[in-house]
Chain A
Amino acid sequence: MTETESPKLPRKNLLTWLWNPFAVIAGGPALAAGVLIILATGYLASHTLTHFDGVLDTHVGLRAPLWFFLAEGILNWLCLFIVLLFGGTIVAKHRSFRIIDLFGTQALARWPFLITALVTFLPGFKSFNAKLLTIVNQGKIAFPSAPASEIITFIFVTFMMIVVTVWFVALAWKSFRISCDVRGWKAITVFTIGVIIAEVLSKLAFIFVLLPML
């Protein structure tokens, strides 16, 4: 059999894996990897009390059992998946897309949050964050006095949280674009509105479903 390869098809390299992974992985394998990563992220986050309390949110501080951290990740994933599935059926030109592709790639799109969960382990972040929370809980607006190393770590972790959120949005868009074969301004608009709706949905679910279970 002649091996016919098209130059238009992506190649497996580091850049593809980081920026456009769904060109090479989707469906069942993406789902398995994505679920494992979501659970690993939740497990790690439970040690540093890092909450992914919304599709795009990361906050630190609230004490909760392990299941709560695991549930947050799954809830966020499901919220965005359901909204984008609905959006995809509206905007997709070809109705032949597989739900498993969107389901799996949306799970895997959350992998950068694993980096957030890891960087919160950096020494100094937890103690600086605790000082900051104490001030905030007292209703004050002030910068806590802390060693320079703690401040630098805090700034770095905050910066990484922003980078990871942007990265996640980019991956979620690529997952939507590839899984539903959508493109153009119509697709971008549907995706943007979808992310906003999913963010609101996940926040509501967090406040009215997860928090009361604590």
Chain B
Amino acid sequence: MIKFPTRCPSCNSGLVVRKLSCDHCETEVGGTFPLPRLTGLSPDDQDFILSFVESSGSLKEMATRLGVSYPTVRNRLNEIIDTLKEKTP
């Protein structure tokens, strides 16, 4: 799977979207669009957030579904919260 780039490989600054295009009619839209905050997370972390939403935000349900303990899931969420805080200017 191709990794979605969020940082500049040269200076490590955050990247922005310059161009969006429609695959159907090939219309192109240009501008400066900031990336959503969640794209700053690793694919694993994004999967975790997705799973969290799918579980209606219930850590208990998520722990049962993933076969791990409640504090394991909660700690992982805490890690992601910390990562998001670090990446927020």
Q: Which residues of A contact B36 (CB under 8 A)?
A: none
- Among B51, B71, B75, the residue within 8 A (CB) of A4 is B51
Range of interface residues on B (Cβ < 8 Å): 20 to 34
B33 at the interface (CB under 8 A from A): no
- Within A1-48, the residues touching B (CB, 8 Å) are 1-12, 22-27, 30
A93 to B69, Cβ gap below 8 A? no
A6 to B71, Cβ gap below 8 A? no
A26 to B69, Cβ gap below 8 A? yes
- Among A6, A23, A30, the residue within 8 A (CB) of B44 is A6
Q: Contact flags (1/0) for B70-88 with A, using CB distance below 8 Å?
A: 1111111010011000000
Question: How many angstroms between the C-alpha atoms of A148 and B72 in the bound complex?
Answer: 48
- Within B58-76, the residues touching A (CB, 8 Å) are 65-76
B74 to A23, Cβ gap below 8 A? no
Q: Which residues of B contact A25 (CB under 8 A)?
A: 69
Q: Contact flags (1/0) for A152-170 with B, using CB distance below 8 Å?
A: 0000000000000000000
With known contacts A4-B48, A4-B54, A6-B47, A94–B68 Cβ distance under 8 A:
no
- Within B23-76, the residues touching A (CB, 8 Å) are 44-45, 47-48, 50-51, 54, 65-76
Given contacts A6-B76, A96-B78, A101-B70, 11 further A-B contacts (CB under 8 A): A5-B47, A9-B72, A9-B76, A10-B72, A24-B72, A26-B69, A26-B71, A27-B69, A93-B82, A98-B71, A181-B78
CB-based closest 7 A-B pairs: A26-B69, A4-B51, A4-B47, A181-B75, A94-B78, A101-B71, A6-B44
Please report A residues at the B interface, Cβ cutoff 8 Å: 1-12, 22-27, 30, 93-94, 96-98, 101, 178-179, 181
